[in-house]
Structure 1
């Protein structure tokens, strides 16, 4: 097992700053375009990350760590951001994400989690039993996945413009 809480926090605490640096003060063209029908823009992804901070990662960790007999998670609405963030400027979303993530990292650290806690289980509505270590690992990979997605969505805006170099640019070949 490669899981380490401190290693996980290294990524979790940096994600908002990576996105802030990458996206602040760039034109809406970069952040409002998608890869096609039923795909997400950069703006949509940031909204999704915010919704996860509010309703997914730490709320589910709290369920796992609670004394409640029923450890079943609420279903997560992967599309809530479309209504939740309508009309908000991207910079407002980035600022909100930074604040929510800082709060969640502080809460995570305050738990002083040992291996015993990391092995505790909750019930995911689709997957069944999952451990706290699996939840936190997924949180980290979820961040990295969406950073890659954001990069891909932005890169594809120049897909037709790179000419023959497309052969060397894997990000444009999917």
Structure 2
């Protein structure tokens, strides 16, 4: 499927509600569990999504649209959530993520982007030239990847408890 703002926005708009439905009010045994050392919990992932909402998607899109002399993106700190989320509740992170996402989507829709604008380029620090269309498609896939990651991390908490059914639950071994 080619990227389409309407289709992509439909996913982006649903991510906060999906996170709220899945995580809000759950015991921390679910939300702080990981897959092992150096892996992320649902809490960590929400913090990561919030950090991205603040510093990645819309700021990079603005940089591309400005087409100034400097179109190089600042590197994204994939681990900033560990410091930024410290001492904050999951409910607080979810509320803030929701507010930032709504503002991001308002900004995105307010641009009324044309195909020629979606073809504009920025410079990613690792990948080089990328288009606005690619950035926005990545935003959608990024959300979906982290939703799948949360489901996987949570499912793995019952890895041993499912007994012989594990054979039919590939999510437990990925």
Same fold (TM over 0.5): yes
The two structures, once aligned, show a CA RMSD in angstroms of: 0.7
TM-score (normalised: structure 1): 0.99
Summarize the alignment of residues 35-74 of structure 1 with structure 2, pairs less than 5 Å apart: 35-74=35-74
Q: Quote how far apart the aligned CAs of 1:37 are.
A: 0.5
Query: Could you list the runs of 5+ residues in structure 1 that have no partner in the other structure?
Result: none
Unaligned runs of 5+ in 2: none
TM-score (norm 2): 0.99
In the other structure, the counterpart of 1:152 is 152
Report the Cα distance in structure 2 between the residues aligned to 1:119 and 1:105, rounded to whole angstroms. 19
Counterpart of 1:110 in structure 2 is 110
Q: What's the CA shift for 1:79?
A: 0.3
Question: Matched residues in 1 for 2:153 and 2:3: separation?
Answer: 29
How many Å apart are 1:173 and its aligned residue? 1.7
State the Cα distance separating 1:76 from its structure 2 match. Answer: 0.2
Number of aligned positions between the proteins: 174
1:21, distance to aligned residue in structure 2 (A) = 0.7
1:17 correspondence with 2:25:
no
CA distance in 2, matches of 1:53, 1:25: 23
Within 5 Å, give how 1:134-145 maps onto structure 2: 134-145=134-145
Q: Deviations over 1:125-174 (max 9, x none)?
A: 00000000000000000000000000000000000000110011010021
Shift of residue 66, structure 1, vs aligned partner:
0.3
Please tell me whether residue 90 in structure 1 is matched to residue 94 in structure 2. no
